[in-house]
Chain A
């Protein structure tokens, strides 16, 4: 994931790249406006959504994450539960809601097998809660697999490379 793709990215003028970049921007908009139901609608039912725990290791070990532990390792069932929870009246951690903004950049699109697109991006999540605690930042790289459908692109897989081994945010009541 961190090593990236071996092939060259599609040129920015390629329509497939433009569609992928627009997908990520629109997706971020849905998350920033708490439209979780519509966000879930962008997921393929076979979605794998993963964020491994990163680790500080000596350079020679070439170990970037704890292979057996994740912050997220989600399928359709568990993503849907997380979305349903935000829709209850008792998800206290997000009531009052955080002010959040996903800053998406560094989008690179690659041809995958079949009609799949492999899309790398960077995301910076700014999250401000209440009026007493300092805001938090989460920085991550993402590698997505997007598949074309009749309704447009859908997210089939997302691997999130979070840029911290010890998170400085009170919880992950967010999506990256």
Chain B
């Protein structure tokens, strides 16, 4: 059924590839269904960070679309990602969000699984099934996520057993990912997440973080006005470079003239101990991004729905500037509803004083109460509400900023940028178009074929 070619999908992807977005894409049941089966059925999805399950037997429960997964660290320290549905009659095995457990007992009939997924206990196996003659218990386990990959401690899974190799797929995005989650050899610590639901389509946040430097001076004027964060002034924002590389892209701020790695990081508030850590983990090529002409990564998105933000607000009355990193997931709940997961992220071995100030910076700016985020979400809820109606079916929104009518870039690619991929200085929707071209690639292909698996009947599950 999901494989039947839906009406109009070729028109939709055709428009999107020209930089025209049918407005109803932001609130449409059929598009949501295509995204659920075709896009999230294939993509690499972020679930959790290793630091959230730091100790043996720790676990968290996370979703990919409608599917609940148990992400565990077993007693030997191995990480497992398992579909959280009992293979007996389908009860959700673990209904807590996080905790520590060696085994999980299904609440319905008490089948018990070890934290590596193996079926360990099946009450009355002999009486009820005649033992192995009726149900082969040996070797049974919870269904595994078809593909799993870990990078910088970040655990990703794909519902597609034939998903592309993660590292190959990530490509040159890895260069930028390290600025957010590769700041120390000791790894990063993820705190949270804060979770809240907004009546907004998930795509809007993903696109916004990927490249919308154009909204910052206006949407976030209040945070400049109160001197919380001085960078988003219009003239400063347009000096930034927008880059995209592999399956992601992001925005940057231009650093003061003459910056080098150390002075650039110090300018955004990193203390010497953090600069040393980053100097040790980042390659010479990565460090050169901060050297003259000098750019500092700000917001970024890794397709489809994982975003990062790095800003450096003033965190006390004395004028201390402190950077923070937030990682966030835009988890679709329905065509017009998104659950936001927002983590604070900091080098695990950062000085305590720095951690405290960076945490403060995060809470003031982003997350459920963040003064940036408050105004972003207001916009996204409004777009989603407007997209629901009939008129939105006639409207093609313009996603062509930075191109002439003939499709030529209005400025040349920026030559002096130190990172891989495609880079333009100034405002433009290059990154949003790149995001939508990946979106179009996935929603126009049939969903991966599913192989039904019977349990206890003799054939071994993969």
Residues of chain A at the chain B interface (Cβ within 8 Å): 53, 55-58, 61, 63, 66, 68-74, 77-78, 81-82, 84-85, 88-93, 132-133, 165-173
28 A-B residue pairs with CB within 8 Å = A53-B194, A57-B99, A63-B98, A63-B99, A66-B191, A69-B191, A69-B192, A69-B194, A71-B367, A81-B226, A85-B223, A85-B225, A85-B371, A89-B225, A90-B221, A92-B219, A92-B375, A92-B378, A93-B378, A133-B199, A166-B195, A166-B196, A166-B197, A167-B195, A167-B368, A171-B368, A171-B369, A171-B377
Residues in B208-247 with C-beta less than 8 Å from chain A? 218-219, 221-223, 225-226, 228
Spot the interface stretch: B2-10, B358-366, B402-410, B453-461: B358-366
Mark interface residues in B329-368 (1 if CB within 8 Å of A CB, else 0): 0000000000100001000000000000001100110011
Indicate if the CB atoms of B377 and A72 lie closer than 8 Å: no
Sort A-B residue pairs by CB-CB distance and give the 3 closest, nearest first.
A167-B196, A172-B369, A90-B221
The answer to the question of B100 belonging to the interface, with a C-beta cut-off of 8 Å to chain A, is yes
Contact B226 A56 (CB under 8 A): no
Q: Which of A53, A63, A93, A132 contacts B192 (CB 8 A)?
A: A53
B98 near A55 (CB under 8 angstroms)?
yes
Q: How far is the CA of A72 from the CA of B317 in the complex (A)?
A: 18
Nearest CB of chain A from residue B102's CB, rounded to whole Å: 13
Task: Give complex CA distance A33, B191 in Å.
Answer: 35
Q: A61-B99, A92-B378 are in contact. List 18 more A-B contacts (CB 8 A).
A: A58-B99, A66-B191, A66-B192, A68-B191, A69-B193, A71-B368, A72-B369, A73-B359, A74-B363, A81-B228, A81-B371, A91-B375, A92-B219, A93-B378, A165-B195, A167-B197, A168-B197, A171-B377
Q: Which residue of A lies closest to B378 (CB)?
A: A93
- Tell me how many residues of B have a C-beta within 8 Å of chain A: 47
Kindly state whether residue B95 has any CB partner on chain A within 8 Å: yes
Measured CB to CB, the nearest residue on chain B to A175 is: B369
Q: How far is the CA of A81 from the CA of B370 in the complex (A)?
A: 11
Residues 372-402 of B contacting A (Cβ, < 8 Å): 373-375, 377-379, 381, 385
B226 touches A70 (CB 8 A): no
Whether the pair A170, B371 counts as a contact (CB closer than 8 A) is no
Nearest Cβ distance between residue B8 and chain A, in whole angstroms? 27
Determine if A81 and B364 form an interchain contact, defined as CB atoms under 8 angstroms apart.
yes
Main secondary structure of the interface of B (DSSP, over half): mixed
Assembled-state Cα–Cα distance A90/B97 (Å): 37
Residue on A with the closest CB to B318?
Answer: A77
B195: chain A residues within 8 A (beta carbon) = 53, 165-167
Chain B residues contacting A66 (CB-CB under 8 Å) are: 191-192
B198 at the interface (CB under 8 A from A): yes
CB distance from A28 to the nearest CB of B (A): 19
CB distance from A106 to the nearest CB of B (A): 24
Q: Are A78 and B95 in contact (CB under 8 A)?
A: no
Cα A82 to Cα B200 with chains together (Å): 24
Seen from chain B, the residues whose Cβ lies within 8 Å of a Cβ on chain A are 95-101, 191-200, 218-219, 221-223, 225-226, 228, 315-317, 339, 344, 359-360, 363-364, 367-371, 373-375, 377-379, 381, 385
Instruction: List the B residue with the shortest CB-CB distance to A172.
Output: B369
Interface pair B96/A57, CB less than 8 Å apart: yes
CA distance A121 to B64 in the complex (A): 38
- Cross-chain contact B363 with A78 (CB below 8 angstroms): yes
Nearest CB of A to B291, in Å: 33
Q: With A and B bound together, what is the CA distance between A169 and B385 in angstroms? A: 15
The residue from A73, A84, A92, A168 contacting B363, defined by CB atoms under 8 A apart: A73
From B218, B360, B374, contact of A171 by CB (8 A): B374
Rounded to whole Å, the gap between the CB of B31 and the closest CB of chain A is 21
* A61-B99, A69-B193, A84-B226 as given contacts; A77 in contact with B375, CB under 8 Å: no
**Does B378 contact A171, Cβ atoms closer than 8 Å?**
yes
Q: With A167-B197, A167-B368, A171-B377 as known contacts, state yes or no: A85 contacts B192, CB within 8 Å.
A: no
In the bound complex, what is the Cα–Cα distance between A172 and B373 (angstroms)?
10
CB distance from A92 to the nearest CB of B (A): 5
Cα–Cα, bound, A88→B222 (Å):
6
Minimum Cβ distance to chain B for residue A10 (Å) = 33
Q: Which interface residue of B96, B219, B316, B360 has the most chain A CB atoms within 10 A? A: B96
Report the bound CA distance from A89 to B224 in whole Å. Answer: 12
A170 touches B363 (CB 8 A): no
Which residue of chain B has its CB nearest to the CB of A134? B199
CA separation between A155 and B430, bound complex, in Å?
Answer: 50
| A74, A81, A170, A172, most chain B CB atoms within 10 A | A170
A59 to chain B, nearest CB (A): 9
How far apart are B434's CB and chain A's nearest CB, in angstroms?
28
Alpha-carbon distance A74/B98, docked complex (angstroms): 26
- Residue of B197, B222, B228 ringed by the most chain A CB atoms within 10 A: B222
Residue of B whose beta carbon sits closest to that of A56? B97
Return chain B residues, CB-CB under 8 Å to A68.
191-192
